[in-house]
């Protein structure tokens, strides 16, 4: 008998299929791991079970009986508790209130039963008493807690549902070793009580430590369910990646530059800041250095910090042999640093303004231009835009009239009027079409050929494998592995990304 079963569940957001066909079967007394790469549909699947996302099609059965889950409340009534990856906490409420929020104990039908609330919360707080750390107590406001402590509160909140089916969507991402160990002890206890547990994590060692079975999801589809005791991490990763995973990337596309020049364009030593720590590397002139790994492991944070958009706590950066310490993006731009973000709306496009204004702001800054003359600016802007094969009607059309890909080309063109020394690319192809992508990478390679040092972070592994000379794999804010030459395979990239930090 299965505790929970999903048959052919799907969900689309507009034209994007978040989940194509989700099948899942959870037995009582097991920890069932969900695995899949970024955006494969794991979280959507969990939210469908928890009622916060409504499926377009498919069937959900609990204890072999079909149920209809209309919202989080009805999911709770059906016996489902969930840990949300993005947390579901009220930051101005206390720890104990948050733990009990979904079902506040009431007396007289109206008033919160403080004593009962305290007693109930205390049971779950006590579970983590030794590992919760300084400043964690029942009356503390959640907003004042550290990230790992907030994650513990969300765990306690999920546990307090006392639901027979528990979902944990990346519950350990901020926890330290001792906290994870304690959490796993608790999970084993729940398993022994016969509860069905869904567990998502990106750390392979945790998965093998706690999981019984694993279901692999790829591109929104359930691929296979395996017993973890009868398989090995290699097989799991191969299933996640799909076919042709062992082919070295170098054979599928030529490396960007045959031989990089010796001179370093930029070197980074022991750089530490918010979201990353102790990062050291060198980018040679003409080299494309890839930053790989799962989403949000410190790659973007590092690029933004180098660009001066967030603070660095220690370490140093040198550009062209000169020590460099950007305090603001303005400073970084003057030193020859360029940054292109995939989040065009936030970091790139000057919305509603003509294309020419969108191409020239960096030129203003680097040339300390006070008065702009459109005719002379046009002479500078046109070659840069043409180098990118940008399609546009005139320089004076608003940038919003262009497609996403062409907008991104305009953004990149703005850096090409005055050549930078180092180009930081933060997932630059997010949401742009294939033609624009290939134009973009052709240009990036050309720029590298001209001697720029390029740092490329991409959430699409194929882009890294096809273009980077070397790949640094990030995990939990630091570089865990460097892939060069024939080691640059999809398999190695995944394995490095998923192994323990």
Distance CA 184, CA 369 (A): 60
Distance CA 5, CA 198 (A): 12
Least distance CB 110 / another protein (angstroms): 5
Least distance CB 102 / another protein (angstroms): 4
Least distance CB 37 / another protein (angstroms): 24
Least distance CB 82 / another protein (angstroms): 8
Task: For another protein, give the closer residue by CB, 88 or 478.
Answer: 88
Task: For another protein, give the closer residue by CB, 73 or 328.
Answer: 73
Assess contact for 165 and 79: CB atoms under 8 A: yes
Task: For another protein, give the closer residue by CB, 144 or 318.
Answer: 144
Least distance CB 141 / another protein (angstroms): 6
Binding region for another protein (CB under 8 A): 50, 52, 71-73, 75-76, 82, 84, 87-93, 97, 101-104, 106, 110-112, 114, 141, 144, 157
Distance CA 434, CA 427 (A): 14
Least distance CB 173 / another protein (angstroms): 18
Compute φ and ψ for 48, nearest 5 degrees: -65, -45
Q: How far, in Å, are 44, 367, 415 from residue 383 at the CA level?
A: 44, 18, 12
Number of H helices, E strands in the chain: 19, 22
Distance CA 349, CA 12 (A): 28
Task: For another protein, give the closer residue by CB, 77 or 223.
Answer: 77
Cα dihedral 81, 85, 88, 90 sign? positive
Cα dihedral 442, 445, 446, 452 sign? positive
- 274: nearest Cα among 303, 296, 305: 305
Q: Assign residue 343 a region: left if phi > 0, alpha if psi is -120 to 50, beta otherwise?
A: beta
Least distance CB 140 / another protein (angstroms): 9
Least distance CB 111 / another protein (angstroms): 5
Task: For another protein, give the closer residue by CB, 76 or 202.
Answer: 76
Q: Do β-strands 221-227 and 213-218 pair in parallel, antiparallel, or remain unpaired?
A: antiparallel
Least distance CB 50 / another protein (angstroms): 7
Task: For another protein, give the closer residue by CB, 76 or 470.
Answer: 76
Task: For another protein, give the closer residue by CB, 103 or 247.
Answer: 103
- Tell me the two tokens of residue 36: 């899949």
Q: In sequence order, what E strands does 360-450 have?
A: 422-426
- Tell me the two tokens of residue 67: 């149920």
Task: For another protein, give the closer residue by CB, 54 or 227.
Answer: 54
Compute φ and ψ for 400, nearest 5 degrees: -65, -15
Least distance CB 89 / another protein (angstroms): 6
Task: For another protein, give the closer residue by CB, 46 or 384.
Answer: 46
Output the 3-class SS for 44-70: HHHHHHHCCCCCCEEEEEECCEEECCC
Assess contact for 206 and 26: CB atoms under 8 A: no
Task: For another protein, give the closer residue by CB, 119 or 259.
Answer: 119
């Amino acid at each position: 008998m299965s505790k929970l079963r999903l048959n052919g569940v799907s969900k689309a957001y507009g034209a994007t299929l978040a989940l194509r066909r989700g099948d899942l079967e959870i037995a009582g007394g097991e920890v069932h791991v969900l695995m899949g790469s970024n955006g494969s549909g794991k979280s959507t699947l969990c939210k469908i079970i928890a009622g916060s996302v409504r499926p377009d099609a498919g069937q959900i059965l609990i204890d072999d009986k079909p149920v209809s889950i209309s919202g989080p409340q009805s999911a709770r009534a059906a016996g489902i508790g969930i840990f949300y990856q993005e947390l579901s906490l009220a930051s101005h409420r206390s720890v104990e209130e948050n733990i009990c929020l979904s079902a506040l104990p009431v007396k007289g039908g109206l008033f919160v039963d403080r004593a009962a609330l305290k007693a109930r919360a205390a049971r779950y707080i006590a579970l983590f008493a030794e590992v919760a750390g300084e400043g964690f107590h029942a009356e503390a406001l959640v907003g004042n807690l550290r990230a790992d402590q907030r994650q513990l509160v969300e765990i306690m909140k999920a546990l307090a549902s006392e639901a027979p089916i528990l979902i944990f969507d990346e519950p350990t991402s901020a926890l330290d070793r001792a906290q994870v160990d304690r959490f796993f002890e608790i999970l084993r206890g729940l398993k022994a009580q016969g509860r069905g547990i869904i567990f998502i994590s990106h750390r392979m060692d945790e998965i093998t430590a706690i999981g019984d079975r694993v279901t692999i999801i790829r591109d929104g589809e359930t691929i296979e369910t395996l017993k973890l005791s009868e398989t090995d991490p290699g097989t799991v990763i191969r299933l996640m990646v799909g076919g042709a995973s062992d082919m070295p990337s170098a054979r599928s596309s030529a490396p960007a530059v045959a031989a990089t020049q010796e001179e370093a364009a930029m070197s980074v030593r022991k750089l530490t800041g918010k979201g990353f720590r102790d990062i050291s590397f060198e980018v040679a002139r003409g080299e494309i250095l890839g930053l790989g790994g799962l989403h949000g492991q410190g790659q973007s944070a590092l690029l933004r910090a180098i660009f001066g958009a967030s603070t660095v706590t220690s370490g140093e950066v040198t550009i062209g042999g000169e020590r460099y310490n950007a305090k603001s993006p303005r400073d970084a731009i003057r030193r020859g640093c360029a940054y292109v973000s995939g989040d065009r709306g936030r970091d790139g496009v000057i919305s509603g303004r003509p294309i020419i204004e969108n191409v020239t702001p960096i030129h203003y800054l680097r040339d300390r231009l006070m008065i702009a003359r459109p005719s002379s600016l046009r002479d500078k802007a046109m070659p840069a835009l043409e180098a990118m094969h940008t399609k546009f009607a005139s320089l004076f059309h608003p940038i919003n009239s262009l497609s996403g890909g062409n907008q991104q080309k305009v953004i990149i063109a703005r850096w090409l009027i005055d050549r930078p020394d180092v180009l930081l690319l933060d997932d630059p192809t997010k949401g742009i079409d294939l033609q624009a992508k290939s134009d973009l990478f052709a240009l990036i390679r050309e720029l590298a050929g001209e001697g720029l040092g390029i740092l490329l972070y991409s959430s699409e592994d194929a882009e890294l494998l096809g273009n980077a000379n070397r790949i640094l794999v990030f995990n939990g804010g630091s570089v865990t592995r460097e892939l060069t030459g024939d080691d640059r395979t999809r398999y190695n990239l995944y394995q490095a990304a998923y192994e323990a930090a």
